[in-house]
Structure 1
Amino acid sequence: MTQKEKILAFMREDAYKPLLIEELITVLDVPREEIGHFLSIIDELEADGRIIKTKKNRYGIPERMGLVTGRFQGNERGFGFVVPDDETIADVFIPLENANGAMHNDRVIARFTRAIIEGKRAEGEIIRILKRANETIVGTFESSKYFGFVVPDDRKISQDVFVPKDEFNGAKTGQKVVVKITRWPEARRNPEGKVVEVLGHKDDPGTDIVSIIKQFNLSEEFPEDVIKQAERISDTVPENEIQKRHDLRHLKIVTIDGEDAKDLDDAVSVERLENGNYRLGVHIADVSHYVTENSPLDKEAFKRATSVYLVDRVIPMLPKKLSNGICSLNPQVDRLTLSVFMEIDKTGKVVDYEIFDSVIKTRERMTYTNVTRILEEEDPELIERYKDLIDDFKLMKELALILRQKRIDRGSIDFDFPEAKIILDEKGKPVEVKKYEITISNKIIEEFMLICNETVAEHMFWANTPFVYRIHEEPDPEKIENFNKLIYNLGYHLKGIAKIHPKSLQQLLNKIKGKKEERIISTVMLRSLMKAKYSHENLGHFGLAAKYYCHFTSPIRRYPDLVIHRIIKENLSRGITPAREEYLKTFVQQAAKQSSDQEIAAQEAERETEDLKKAEYMQDKVGEVFEGVISSVTSFGMFVELENTIEGLVRVSSMEDDYYIYDDKHYSLIGENKKKIYKIGDEVKVKLVKADLATRQIDFVLVEEIENDGQLEDDKFYTIPETGLANKKAKVSTRPKKREKTKEKEKTKKRRKK
């Protein structure tokens, strides 16, 4: 146990009362020569919000003092929520007047002002801001005669940034800018700043994506020392390094990726053994050979933690010299790899495996499209072109389907939510939006990578060394109980909800496949589960029903993969010393936290660019009518998803045929008067009325329902949620009557004019 952990454990004891620093030194028996180090640890814990110093200079744990440490999640209307570091604590609502200058994503400490009452969230007040998240803000500049202001692109930052006239730095109205905060906001006072970069006019081509890149603090450029280190790396593999490794260049090894992929970090091979089993080889680029620990390349990779795949470009974790060059498993060239060979029987069980350093030379750079055309369409031209590999592809399909069936049988959950593929022209304008098709070749690579990741994770777990696992924790029983109540109303039921097994959820997905209620059940199920993340602890992967799991197969684009490659190689070659183990214990925690945080940022940036281009694609289609499916229902309206994955909002305020009440237990909108119900999964016709690039918002209005099964029969007794009124006694909407009165008034006015 580290000294930090000892201090925290001591303060968490039931008998502990907040102590002065001198008392802590005495009670914990800190040697005189270590007092300076002890004080620095206390400062670090306080700065991170893990302990807090009271006004009387006493130290304690926030949660023991009615406080909570976490991240402030802002809202465009000024209020927000504190998302606690402790995931067992629910989010805390922060009213506008209690935000006290906190901005979106700031690390804060909040005091509870109201406990959870009758299902309502706890409320709180920000009392301390530990770390500011927004030193710079991207937005649209507006100027007046004496001052200017920047309207943030991130709508979760509710306040405009005031800019003094002498800090415009050439910015003009309508331009996208980066503004540096010079004075943080206070109660009833906006933040102040100065323009440090002008990105271009908001309507100029390309400015939109650049603004998002800046908003999420992504960098397309690498520091000079990183570039210099990359340039010193040879473009070819030296012979002396080949001699140290298993030489696999004679094997039929291929990569299978998308047409646009340039960072090819995984390759596969397969053969049938004499005993009838399969020998699957997964060969992963040995990035750790080139990105050495604590080097400039490594520090920059740690900082980025992931490559970011925006709609029109990739922002790589590593310079292209590596990601597209010496580390990419390009065809017909020698490449250094870490190989995992697995012997798999006919049931999909791994009966034997080995992991070692290797050198490979891939035969072909295959694409998902071509492999699918070979296997599913038996394309004669492609079969002739790749005739030496056809049997291998057939064997890959055979093995992948076995592995997939085994995974499904054990309870691995497979959601079927469509992904979008956005086609841009040479100017970056979207010309087509369609569903990304998942083919047999995608499934081959997915299954091979999954089994490889599991095999490596289990191997390293039993090696008992520090490691970075990919975990997906068990869901909150309360959320599963609420989910079970929802599906009960739809005619389904889950068993064992106190400790749900993923197999129960997958069986439910199988039952609803192709049925009208599939969308609502799948959506709410996903919301009921935890989010996957990286961790130094092996807590299993609930969604995959896997006891051991890690990310091993993409070290070019994910930092956790790179870290565990180092640990695996070190463990294989010379073992890990006790001193080294202590260092790694701390480092893998840092790497897991950084990688999880950056993964979220990358996902948000990718989603922003996708939403932007979808809105841009729809701009010239205002007035057109589309068929879609209700994908989500909220108190303010319902989201409708079109066949091409584009999603827009139908606002309750636009639904003028009735007053609609939101039923949060059934995720539906219910008409007070006509009892019409709109719920997730219903098919509707909508007309596009607005596509706003600034907000990335697409607005629809209802035209008509395609299937009117939301209409309740007159003789059915139905209680309207929140009102408690039965349908025959329900309060009747006055809106239609008001509209009739208005029409009568207009007719009267016309008669008078005549």
Structure 2
Amino acid sequence: MAKKKKKSPRQGLPTEKEIVAAMKKAGRPVLLRELYHILNIPTSDRKAFRTLVKRLTKEGKLVHIKGKRYGLPEQMQLVPGKIKIHPDGYGLVEPEDPKKPMVYVPPSRLKGAINGDKVVVRVEVSQRKRPEGTVIRILERAKKYIVGFFYRGKRVSTVIPEDDRFPFEILIPPDATKGAEDGDMVVAEIIDFSPGRKIPEGRIIAVLGDPEDLSTQIKAVIYKYELPFRFSRAVKKELKEIPDEVREEDKAGRKDFRKLLFVTIDGETAKDFDDAVYVRKLPKGWRLYVAIADVAHYVRPNTALDKEAYERGTSVYFPGTVVPMFPEKLSNNLCSLNPEVDRLAMVAVIDFDKEGNRRQMKFYEAVIKSHQRFTYNIVRDIVEKKDPKVRRKYKRFLGMLENAAELCRLLRRKRLARGSIDFDLPEPEVILDAQGQPEDIVRRERHFAHFIIEEFMIAANEAVAEYLTEKGYPILYRVHEPPDLEKLKEFVDFAATLGLELKLPREPEPSWLQMVIEMAEGKPYAYLVSTLLLRSLKQAKYSPENIGHFGLASECYCHFTSPIRRYPDLVVHRALKAALKKKKPPYKLQKLEEMGKHLSDRERTAMEAEREALDRVKVMLMKHRIGEVFDGVISSVTAFGFFVDLFEIYVSGVVRLVDLADDYYVLDEKNHRLVGRRTGKVFQLGDLVRVKVKEVNVSRRHITFELVEKLKSPN
């Protein structure tokens, strides 16, 4: 009888597909040691293989069951996914496989799972539309900390989470209160929510303070979104080794642009100046100089500073404060292009002809000096309002600013002509009083001086992206995919209810969207059209694959102009430095793919945190304006009422159907309106209304309006 041939040990670890295939072939749950033999894992690789199996288990690709066996979830009626908890207490699990239906989990079968957790559920009642199941394992906790309100009791204290998707109280033992006072906003950590417990036990890890205080609300957002706000000891140690000012040896070998009249143009409250500009008129056009802080000179790859900045991904801006990507020594001093001091910069020098076509571009590691710190309003007074007093004060800069204005008009016309979309949506600005508390929230003014910087930054970003692409250096592009036609069709259907007759394009074109914006200009619903068009677009992101930027109608675009506050810009700076010195590219495609995903995620988190901080400010302000009357526009219609965006202040709230006592109203979803059964009265998207502030719930961030009257829309 022939001897059974012994398998030779495999080379390297098996892939996820190979492991799943082997387990399918086994047809039953298997022990880890069985997997060693099935997949022929040599002893030397078994430790690494165990780590791989643990990772796949954590991700929900495999399930660890009783008897130390591993199984495949789909063969055991198990579904891995993320759970969303409804305020009423039940859960819905969103499977990782988007083709599978959501699984309903009754409150009694959550087994300690909280909103956002990654879980495995066992399906027990199979229904085609909504199967029902029980949580059998929590793979990963979504929230380490929960923000809530502290209430002190005689024997035991509690924290009530402010987010109603956590429908439970947290018990706090007497020795775990951290000195919190009754009614304080706090951050709690759950330390025991085992399946047998109905109410979790926790401890206070931070006392935030009085909920009526803006700084408390900002701290709540920082903890809720788990934004890193403290710099590590390693970062602080590295900071000590960085000079306080630019040294002579740092200037060596750099292009000296200090005599050029570079200026910065920013908002009134700006403290970090990434960019400075200078424009010179040439016999056949213009020469634009864009100087960007050379952060890469001070922040080297793989240092503690670099790793911390990468984790943060971006600075996060809140009313009156910022969670910076870099410590203040860099962001507000050494890397900030402050006036009348030497600074290291990467400078793009771009020549344009009289039609605004780019003729040539060059890039330099340079030393510059900003000769003046301008605000947008001062530049507007000089170039648009032609204020004689202001022009006399800044006489030295008049020629340069007039050149800048002329070039800006040309570049802007050219960009809009190619189809670039200009939404021009109002942005909120929070006005703080002397104590740092919110006093008002207004629409931030956007005027021609803003356009100057916008156009010059777009020009620099495009020039750098094209240069590095031509040189074959992999970078992170700023990409924006075209919208789905289905989304645009929904918008066209909505526009018809406003009387805007639009023809759906065969292929999405930015010029079509710009045409729609221009059609709605001056109409009462213009803001609404821009907002809903924006919602129909996909989010821009970072990627090493250049698929163009739909919104800007740009074929090749990156972020280069804000390395103090955006990590992707630092990535581009490093690639540009390497290209100028003809060194090898600093990043490989695979690494950039991973970085692009992480940095896009960090950007989204920052945007959500900033939006929530703004919502908190809105309710703080409106709490003191109950009973006041405002005009606004209906921005959304639902089965329970309609939302109104106010004109005078940047706030929205809901008019509930229960407060419309004159009729029973039914939602006409197709036409985005509510219709009265008896009266036929209509409340539709885009309608103008006058409302009174009825109720403000600070903890839930809800603003309720009462209808005063429906207004006639101006023709």
TM-score, normalised relative to structure 2: 0.88
Partner of 1:52 in structure 2? 62
Say whether residues 1:232 and 2:241 are aligned partners: yes
Equivalent position to 2:89, from 78, 83, 87: 78
Q: CA deviation at 1:333?
A: 1.0
Q: CA deviation at 1:520?
A: 4.1
Partner of 2:504 in structure 1? 495
Describe the shift of the 1:303–1:703 C-alpha distance in structure 2 as closer, same or farther (beyond 3 A): same
Partner of 1:283 in structure 2? 291
Describe the shift of the 1:628–1:323 C-alpha distance in structure 2 as closer, same or farther (beyond 3 A): same
Say whether residues 1:554 and 2:562 are aligned partners: yes
Equivalent position to 2:540, from 511, 529, 532: 532
Partner of 1:662 in structure 2? 667
Rounded Cα–Cα distance in structure 2 between residues aligned with 1:197 and 1:140: 12
Partner of 2:173 in structure 1? 164
Letter in 2 for 1:545: A
Describe the shift of the 1:89–1:405 C-alpha distance in structure 2 as closer, same or farther (beyond 3 A): farther
Rounded Cα–Cα distance in structure 2 between residues aligned with 1:441 and 1:299: 36
Letter in 2 for 1:167: A
Letter in 1 for 2:415: R
Q: Which moved more, 1:309-318 or 1:631-640?
A: 631-640
Q: CA deviation at 1:656?
A: 1.3
Rounded Cα–Cα distance in structure 2 between residues aligned with 1:600 and 1:452: 24
Rounded Cα–Cα distance in structure 1 between residues aligned with 2:100 and 2:358: 41
| SS of match in other structure, 2:395 | coil
CA contact (8 A) 1:519 1:680 kept: no
Say whether residues 1:426 and 2:434 are aligned partners: yes
**Can you list the C-alpha shifts for 1:550-574, whole angstroms capped at 9, x where unaligned?**
2211111111112222233233324
Q: CA deviation at 1:108?
A: 4.4
Partner of 1:266 in structure 2? 275
Equivalent position to 1:391, from 383, 392, 399: 399
Partner of 1:732 in structure 2? none
Partner of 1:136 in structure 2? 145
Letter in 1 for 2:206: E
Q: CA deviation at 1:519?
A: 4.0
Partner of 1:617 in structure 2? 621
| SS of match in other structure, 1:388 | helix
CA contact (8 A) 2:257 2:369 kept: yes
**Can you list the C-alpha shifts for 1:586-617, whole angstroms capped at 9, x where unaligned?**
44334323322222222222222222222222
Rounded Cα–Cα distance in structure 1 between residues aligned with 2:441 and 2:399: 35
- List aligned pairs for 1:12-27, cutoff 5 A: none
Rounded Cα–Cα distance in structure 1 between residues aligned with 2:519 and 2:574: 44
Equivalent position to 2:230, from 221, 232, 235: 221
Partner of 1:704 in structure 2? 709
CA contact (8 A) 2:517 2:526 kept: yes
Describe the shift of the 1:271–1:8 C-alpha distance in structure 2 as closer, same or farther (beyond 3 A): farther
Partner of 2:690 in structure 1? 685
Say whether residues 1:472 and 2:480 are aligned partners: yes
Partner of 1:103 in structure 2? 114
Letter in 2 for 1:647: S
Q: Which moved more, 1:603-612 or 1:29-38?
A: 29-38
Partner of 2:322 in structure 1? 314
Say whether residues 1:342 and 2:350 are aligned partners: yes
Paired-residue identity, %: 40
Letter in 2 for 1:296: A
Describe the shift of the 1:594–1:623 C-alpha distance in structure 2 as closer, same or farther (beyond 3 A): same
Partner of 1:254 in structure 2? 263
Q: Which moved more, 1:453-462 or 1:328-337?
A: 453-462
Say whether residues 1:330 and 2:338 are aligned partners: yes
Rounded Cα–Cα distance in structure 2 between residues aligned with 1:133 and 1:4: 33
Partner of 1:630 in structure 2? 634
Describe the shift of the 1:285–1:441 C-alpha distance in structure 2 as closer, same or farther (beyond 3 A): same
RMSD of Structure 2 on Structure 1 (CA): 3.5
Rounded Cα–Cα distance in structure 1 between residues aligned with 2:503 and 2:352: 33
Rounded Cα–Cα distance in structure 1 between residues aligned with 2:419 and 2:316: 31
Partner of 2:370 in structure 1? 362
**Can you list the C-alpha shifts for 1:124-149, whole angstroms capped at 9, x where unaligned?**
87665332121221210123333222
Q: Which moved more, 1:483-492 or 1:661-670?
A: 483-492
| SS of match in other structure, 1:620 | helix
| SS of match in other structure, 1:369 | helix
Letter in 1 for 2:695: K
Q: Which moved more, 1:200-209 or 1:260-269?
A: 200-209
Describe the shift of the 1:16–1:312 C-alpha distance in structure 2 as closer, same or farther (beyond 3 A): same
**Can you list the C-alpha shifts for 1:81-121, whole angstroms capped at 9, x where unaligned?**
666778x779947555475543333344668899998xx89
Rounded Cα–Cα distance in structure 1 between residues aligned with 2:607 and 2:153: 36
Rounded Cα–Cα distance in structure 1 between residues aligned with 2:536 and 2:127: 20
Q: Which moved more, 1:596-605 or 1:64-73?
A: 64-73
How many residues are matched? 697
Q: CA deviation at 1:360?
A: 0.8
Post-superposition, which runs of at least 4 consecutive aligned residues in structure 1 deviate over 6 A?
3-6, 9-13, 15-32, 62-69, 83-86, 88-91, 110-117, 120-125
| SS of match in other structure, 2:89 | coil
**Can you list the C-alpha shifts for 1:133-171, whole angstroms capped at 9, x where unaligned?**
212212101233332221123344333222234433433
| SS of match in other structure, 1:552 | coil
Say whether residues 1:603 and 2:633 are aligned partners: no
Rounded Cα–Cα distance in structure 1 between residues aligned with 2:533 and 2:77: 33
Rounded Cα–Cα distance in structure 2 between residues aligned with 1:407 and 1:344: 14
Describe the shift of the 1:144–1:563 C-alpha distance in structure 2 as closer, same or farther (beyond 3 A): same
Letter in 1 for 2:610: E
Letter in 2 for 1:360: I
Q: Which moved more, 1:629-638 or 1:431-440?
A: 629-638
Partner of 2:652 in structure 1? 647
CA contact (8 A) 2:488 2:504 kept: no
Residue ranges of structure 1 left out of the alignment (5+ in a row): 711-754
Letter in 1 for 2:397: L
Rounded Cα–Cα distance in structure 2 between residues aligned with 1:605 and 1:90: 31
Q: CA deviation at 1:674?
A: 1.6
Letter in 1 for 2:547: L
**Can you list the C-alpha shifts for 1:471-520, whole angstroms capped at 9, x where unaligned?**
222323332333333334444233335x4222222222221222244344
Q: CA deviation at 1:204?
A: 5.5
Letter in 2 for 1:403: L
Rounded Cα–Cα distance in structure 1 between residues aligned with 2:604 and 2:366: 33
Rounded Cα–Cα distance in structure 2 between residues aligned with 1:365 and 1:607: 29
Q: CA deviation at 1:404?
A: 2.1
Rounded Cα–Cα distance in structure 2 between residues aligned with 1:389 and 1:471: 36
Rounded Cα–Cα distance in structure 2 between residues aligned with 1:121 and 1:271: 66
Q: CA deviation at 1:543?
A: 1.9
